[in-house]
Every structure is written in C-alpha cells, then in structure tokens.
Amino acid sequence: MHSDLQAFINVDHLVANYQALRARCRSGVKFCAPLKANAYGHGATLVAPRLQDAGVDMAAVATLDEAIELRRVAWTRPILVLGNVLAVADFHERCERLDAIIKHALTITVADAATIRWLCEEPSNARIDVHLKIDTGLGRMGVLPDEAVRLVRFINTSRTLRLAGVYSHFGTADFAERDFALQQLAIFKAWLADNADALPQGCLRHIANSAATISLPEAHLDMVRPGIALYGYPPAEHLAEQISLRPILRLVSHLTCIKEIPAGHSVGYARKFIATEPTRIGIVPIGYADGFLRILTNNAVVGTKHGPAPVIGRVSMDQIAIDLTRLPPPTLGDPIMLISDKPDDENSVCKLARRMDTISYEVTCVLGRRISRTETHSPRRDTQSVPLQPLAAVPS
C-alpha cells in the first residue's frame, strides 16, 4: 500500500544542485553535505547514497542517531556531528555515546573545555577526530577566539584526540548587507593566521554555508557546507539569480471526500470559513501533524488536474479542505499537488515560506513521518504545474 502522502524526491536535481555548488568552488575545496533533520525533510537515507556516489566528501548531522542512520545506509565517508553530543550530565550515558562515536568512526564537534578534558582523560585505544567550533559572532555554540587558542594546544597534546578541523558559522551571510558576515570572516581568518603553526597538517578550516558558497568565494577555505541550496532552494531571494538550483521535492496526495455545502455552512474548526454561496469542497488527508501548518488556514493554494484550488477553513491535524467550486467536477482519488517543485508555482516551497512568514528550511523540515519519500528521476512524464494523470500514474 502507498501512503496517502507521497513526496517524490528528484535525485537528478539533487546531483545537479551539488554539481552547481561544487562548480562555485576552486579546485581542491572539499564539500560537506548537511544531512541533518532527515536531510532537511527530504529523506536522508534516500539522498545520502546519491550524494556519496556523486562525490560528496563529508556529511554533517546534528545528532548521533542521525549519524548512525547514515552508517546503516552504507555512508562510508566522514560524518561530522555538529551538536555537542557529549555534553550530558549522566556519566553512563556519556560513555555510551562515546562508544557509539568510536564504533561508527564519527567526527565530533567540541566546543567547551570540560568535554575536551573528559575526552583526554577517558582511556581509549581509539583516536577520535574532532572539529573545534569557534564563535565569531553568531553567539550560539562555540568557544570565543581567545579561548580557542588554549584548547587547540590542549587537543594537540592528547593521545586520544586528533584535531581534524576548525570551523565557525555565519549569522547573516544570506543578507544583502554584508558587513557583519565580512566581520565574522575577518575574525575567523585572523585567528587562523595567528594560529597556523598550531593547526596540524590536514586540519580542515570551514565556515561557508549556502549563501557564502554561492556568493562569498573568499570564505570557501578548505571546505564548504551548503545546506538548503543543495535541496534546490536559494538561501535568500537576492541570491536566486546567481546560481541555477532545482527544487528536488514535490508532495502529492488525493481527494478523499467531495461534497456540496449550502451558503452559510462553515468549514473546519472555529468556523474560519463560512460559505457565501453553494460551494463544492474537497478533503485532502494532510494536516499540521504532517507539516502543513495551521498558519496556512485560508492561506494556501494547491494544484489539481483542472487548476489551482484555495485551501479553505482551518488546517486540522489530519485534513484540509479545498474549494473546488470554480473547477470542473472532480472525482474521488484525483491527485492533489500540495508542494510543487516549480519555483514560480504558488505552492512551491519558497512561496509557501512567504505565506507562512518563515524560511524554506522550516517548510521542508517539518514534513512528517506519515509522508512516504520516493526517489524519482528526470525527465519526468508529468511536465505541467499540476499533475495531469491519476495518482497511480505519478512516477514512483
């Protein structure tokens, strides 16, 4: 049986995005693919093998569970765990996590003196690769530059740890105004220059996210980490014209109910929509539990085989209603395009993000577990903005 919600992931577009981003970099710059949060909602176990085959050098995840999942789908290249995963109070839990790090040959982020000291004191026959994160102004995880000098020298004296990388993270690289991003880059580069003698050979220096990979070549250093752009969405509107990216996701469902309601009849919780005329409505099995959030109440458009249809009434946990009154009579099971992979469509990821007053990252990351994710390729048989054939005929 198929899920009522099917996300089709175009892996040809994924590889094309990788190649376009790689082409922005000079020869020798390594490429780290952020696959955290289930590859930004697109399905890490689906996209990871394709990226490994394409030549990605490293993956980045947020948690140990995400890293172990990649190892289970035969990701053999380095995995950088971005979270400070050993910063837990329970000693046995910390030891268990360390065992998993060693067993799966994971590279971990270190960002505080206490964790580094504990790692150095913990007896182990394995040598653990670590990347030290430096806070150059974002103000989240990471040590300040002055403290980082001491920690690098401490790591270098350890028999347990190997300093495999030093990195930072931009806070505003996607802004048109670049002063703060350039300030962060200057701080990081100055620190690297001042401490070049302390960095072991092969230590990777990296700071470039999607925006910096696209438009700030001086930030590429030894490795880039473009996340959202890899999946086909520009990190900011003003960057869209600088690189050709292809969205890799389209989300499809179907009509499970069609009914006529009279004028004055309401639709959904809290009566957020009341019909002003006889209205034909259709029900689609998606809701906020699947990542189609309540902010889209009376505030979205979906694709049908006869044209666009507005979402009406409050989005509920498992269902939405759409207005089919102005369209030719539908049939139960007719396909509904919830998220289009065409950037100009009103239900594209970027257009939905605008309606939700958020960013494209959130639109895809919240897509839920009830959505099946299936690989598809180009060229596709369905080339229109909305699916033109029954759901069963959508490529799978």
Helix (H) / strand (E) containing 10: strand 6-10
Say which residue the tokens 């302390």 belong to. Answer: 198
Cα–Cα distance for residue pair 366/349, rounded to 1 Å: 12
Summarised one tens digit per residue, pLDDT across range 260-315 is: 999 999 999 999 999 999 999 999 999 999 999 999 999 999 999 999 999 999 99
Cα–Cα distance for residue pair 21/365, rounded to 1 Å: 21
All CATH 2.40.37.10 domain ranges in the chain, comma separated: 249-393
User: What are the residue ranges in the chain where pLDDT is below 50?
Assistant: 381-396
Half-sphere exposure of 192 (CA within 13 A, CB side): 22
pLDDT of residue 388: 37
pLDDT of residue 126: 86
In the CATH hierarchy, which fold is given to the domain comprising 249-393?
Lyase, Ornithine Decarboxylase; Chain A, domain 1 (2.40.37)
Q: Helix or strand or coil: residue 113?
A: helix
pTM above 0.75, yes or no: yes
Instruction: Using DSSP bridges, classify how beta strands 273-274 and 266-267 pair: parallel, antiparallel or unpaired.
Output: antiparallel
What is 11-231's CATH superfamily? Alanine racemase (3.20.20.10)
All CATH 3.20.20.10 domain ranges in the chain, comma separated: 11-231
Report, as residue numbers or ranges, the catalytic residues. 36, 269
pLDDT of residue 90: 94
